[in-house]
Amino acid sequence: MEMTPMQRFEAALNFETPDYVPVSLFGGIFEVHFVPGMDVVRYGTSGANMAKAHIAFYEHVGGDTIYCLSDMGLIVQGWGVRMKLPTEPDIHMALGKFPVKEPGDWEKLEVLDPRVDGRMRLYLDACAICSEKYGDRVPIGVSMPSPLTTTTHVCSMEDTLMHMITDPDALKKGLKVITDTIADFINACVDNGAYFAGYLTTRASKEITTVEQYREFGAPYDEEIFRRTPAMVHVPHICGVEPMFEIIDDYRKKFKNVKAISWWDRGAKPNLAEAKATYGKNLALMAGIDHTNTLVSGTPDDVAAEIRNACETAKEGSGFVLAPGCEVSPKTPWPNMRAAINAARRYGKY
């Protein structure tokens, strides 16, 4: 009997045997193309519009998840970040003026309410609408920045990294407030139907921070999030070129709700084969599709060949979800997205 997408996704994350390798396509603003008259601003300012785009994309393209993904201002607008609206199609709303410039500014942050502050309500509304339509048949995910990642959305990356060195205590005060806000936001998403979080530990990459820095300024707050959100399945995501697998695997050992890692296996170390050999018996792997090259500029046959290679590399023993290394480009030809689904069913059959 054919599994539902939820059954397939759960089986893969829990190292049980699904009928096929599941596919999770991070459509993001690519999905606005499937709703006549929709644009990025309408998508990014209305939960109903976001849900409409997710549902249209899912119905047209397929896959095994619905993934709520907006721009990086969703939370931090509540702390006064100003957004830059796109002047051309297919461009995200961008972070503008940062409210945190000096170390003392971290103490000015207050815990936000996900129901009223920033644009967090969008995820709650979108999750509720999608959950009402699909029930427990389709896993609904949310893209959720970690506390340390969020510091670089409320303050420049350069200043945040400098504060690690010059004013660590001030930065940690900000991290505590951010952690409280994100934990509340995640639990509110669960209450509205979310099943998993693409948990953006994007600063856990060695070209950005050292392992020692991340263990001090990232890991304690990530672990607090995992403790306080037991009903959410977490898939840490790192789109850098030297992701700290060892830290994510530590999370998996400590927390039952940390199931997998998502990363750009086609352009980072380790690659898929290396990760499967070193971590893939216990930490599920979400990867295999190159969103920067094959998916956006290849042919459907190129996409199918890459999917075949990924399945041959990582499907044995389960614990594998086909996915791009990050949000797909809005310029991606949609037949390539459909080709990924078809190839997964062809080459990912158990």
Each residue's pLDDT tens digit, 200-253: 999 999 999 999 999 999 999 999 999 999 999 999 999 999 999 999 999 999
pLDDT of residue 26: 87
pLDDT of residue 87: 81
Phi-psi region of 214 (alpha: psi -120 to 50; beta: other; left: phi over 0): alpha
Output the six-digit token pair for 91.
């461009």
* pLDDT band with cut points at 50, 70 and 90 for residue 254: very high
- Quote the DSSP letter at residue 267: T
pTM for this prediction? 0.97
pLDDT of residue 88: 80
22-36, 43-57, 176-190, 288-302 — which is least confidently predicted?
Answer: 22-36
Q: How far apart are CA 119 and CA 15, in angstroms?
A: 36
- CA angle at residue 295 from 290 to 297, to 5 degrees? 115
> Average pLDDT, stretch 118-143?
98
pLDDT of residue 143: 97
Each residue's pLDDT tens digit, 58-74: 999 999 999 999 899 99
Backbone phi and psi for residue 31, each to the nearest 5 degrees, phi listed first:
-70, -15
Nearest-CA neighbor of 225 among 172, 178, 174? 178
pLDDT of residue 86: 87
Could you please report the per-residue DSSP string of 181-215?
HHHHHHHHHHHTT--EEEEE-TT-BTTTS-HHHHH
Q: Reply yes or no on whether the pLDDT at 172 is more than 90.
A: yes
Each residue's pLDDT tens digit, 75-125: 999 999 999 988 888 888 899 999 999 999 999 999 999 999 999 999 999
Q: Reply yes or no on whether the pLDDT at 317 is more than 90.
A: yes
Q: How far apart are CA 285 and CA 272, in angstroms?
A: 8
SS3 143: strand
Domain covering 5-347: architecture:
Alpha-Beta Barrel (3.20)
Contact 159, 100 (CB under 8 A): yes
* pLDDT band with cut points at 50, 70 and 90 for residue 1: confident
Q: How high is the mean pLDDT of the chain?
A: 96
Q: What percentage of the chain carries pLDDT values higher than 70? A: 100
